[in-house]
């Protein structure tokens, strides 16, 4: 948590500082509200949430009258927290409560967003929690991706199932779930292919992976990995994926590399599912459950 705060704060506190200094002005005139809106938009919050927040801040500062810096800070935190929706269930469904076979987690995303890394780190988190994991390297179009995942598997103590280069991703995913059943592990974590050169190609692949896996039982979680530094582009990707599969959670990577923390709220809004995990660096320990309060603290300072 402390790490999350310091990582986020490094890049994000400028947003909070900017907002607080604007809100502290003697007179909150239209120009000031426009400036506030601009700060929010440049933090990738998106138009809808920006307008909601500005509206709430207008009302509350009006009621407040004179404003101390501490009051403003608290007020801003409260309103941002509402937008992040702290009530959403953010647990990654990695355990079947009924014990009926392994929970199946599909990890999807466009190449380069940090999908394989996130899969490996998630395996590490689960294993540190006492779970057992099989990794499925269903990104068969890049031999390097399977190698990378297998390296993670060896490092964290998970069996990795992989196919030959160019093998059918769905067959590898199927085999990974079969293996997970055979070994009696808790979770099958499947890294899927992320080619987005043709939208239909990706749709076919990912959709097929899910359908084939479902022959052995339900898919419990579909995590979409998005790169926080790509801003609106990430939202475009999210829309494409949403057409193919029901996404159940978002893993937002590279949040350490952006000052645009508003993207967390924007993607949640866009997809209607919570950000469950955040990537805060390249290290093995740099994947954290998303903590709304800590996030807002880091944002506002
Ligand atoms: P994939 O193509 O989506 O599977 O992407 P990879 O998992 O290979 O990751 C691409 C690059 O992003 C690698 O250099 C990772 O170390 C890096 N990366 C992944 N997650 C994060 C993160 O949260 N923060 C930072 N700074 N880098 C990350």
| Predicted-complex ipTM score | 0.97
Give per-residue pLDDT as tens, 257-273: 887 889 999 999 999 99
Residue 206 above 80 pLDDT? yes
Q: Give yes or no for residue 113 CB within 6 A of ligand 1.
A: yes
Detail the residues annotated as belonging to a binding site. Answer: 109-116, 191-195, 253-256
- Long-range CB contacts for residues 287-291, cutoff 8 Å, separation at least 24: 287/118, 287/121, 287/122, 287/124, 287/125, 287/251, 288/3, 288/4, 289/90, 290/90, 290/252, 290/264, 291/1, 291/4
Distance 211 CA to ligand 1 centre (A): 27
- Cα 153 to Cα 160: distance, rounded to the nearest angstrom: 6
- Spatial neighbors of 74 by CB under 8 A, at least 6 apart, are none
Pull the structure tokens for residue 158: 């998970």
- The H or E element spanning position 178 is helix 169-183
Q: Give yes or no for residue 280 CB within 6 A of ligand 1.
A: yes
Q: Give yes or no for residue 282 CB within 6 A of ligand 1.
A: yes
191-202 average pLDDT score: 72
Give per-residue pLDDT as tens, 212-267: 999 999 999 999 999 999 988 888 888 888 888 999 999 999 988 887 889 999 99
User: What global pTM score does this model have?
Assistant: 0.93
Q: Give yes or no for residue 120 CB within 6 A of ligand 1.
A: no
The distance in angstroms from the start CA to the end CA of the chain is 14
Atom of ligand 1 nearest to the CA of 279: 23
- Cα 153 to Cα 166: distance, rounded to the nearest angstrom: 21
Distance 146 CA to ligand 1 centre (A): 15
Q: What are phi and psi of 134, to 5 degrees?
A: -110, 135
How does residue 5 score in pLDDT terms, banded at 50, 70 and 90? low
CA Rg, the chain, in Å? 21
- Cα 110 to Cα 236: distance, rounded to the nearest angstrom: 11
Distance 282 CA to ligand 1 centre (A): 6
- The top-scoring range by mean pLDDT among 95-104, 128-137, 204-213, 281-290 is 128-137
């Amino acid at each position: 948590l402390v790490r999350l705060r310091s990582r986020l704060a490094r890049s994000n506190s400028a947003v909070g500082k900017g907002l607080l200094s604007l809100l502290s002005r003697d007179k909150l005139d239209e120009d000031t509200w426009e400036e506030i809106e601009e700060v929010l938009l440049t933090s990738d919050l998106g138009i809808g949430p920006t307008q909601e927040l500005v509206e709430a801040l207008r009302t509350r500062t009006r009621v407040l009258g004179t404003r101390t810096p501490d009051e403003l800070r608290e007020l801003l935190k409260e309103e941002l927290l509402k937008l992040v929706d702290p009530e959403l269930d953010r647990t990654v469904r990695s355990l079947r409560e009924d014990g009926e076979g392994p929970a199946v987690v599909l990890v999807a995303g466009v190449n380069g967003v940090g999908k394989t890394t996130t899969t490996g780190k998630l395996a590490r988190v689960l294993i540190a929690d006492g779970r057992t994991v099989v990794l499925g390297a269903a990104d068969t179009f890049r031999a390097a991706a399977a190698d990378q995942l297998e390296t993670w598997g060896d490092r964290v103590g998970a069996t990795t199932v992989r196919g030959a280069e160019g093998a059918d991703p769905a067959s590898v995913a199927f085999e990974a779930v079969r293996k997970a059943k055979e070994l009696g592990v808790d979770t099958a974590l499947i890294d899927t292919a992320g080619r987005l050169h043709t939208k239909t190609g990706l749709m076919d692949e990912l959709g097929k992976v899910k359908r084939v896996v479902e022959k052995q039982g339900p898919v419990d979680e579909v995590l979409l990995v998005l790169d926080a530094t790509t801003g609106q582009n990430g939202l475009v990707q999210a829309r494409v994926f949403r057409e193919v599969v029901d996404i159940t959670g978002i893993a937002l990577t590279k949040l350490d590399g952006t000052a645009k923390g508003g993207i967390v709220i924007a993607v949640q809004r866009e997809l209607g599912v919570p950000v469950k995990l955040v990537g805060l660096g390249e290290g093995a320990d740099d994947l954290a459950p998303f903590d709304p309060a800590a996030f807002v603290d880091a944002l506002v300072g």
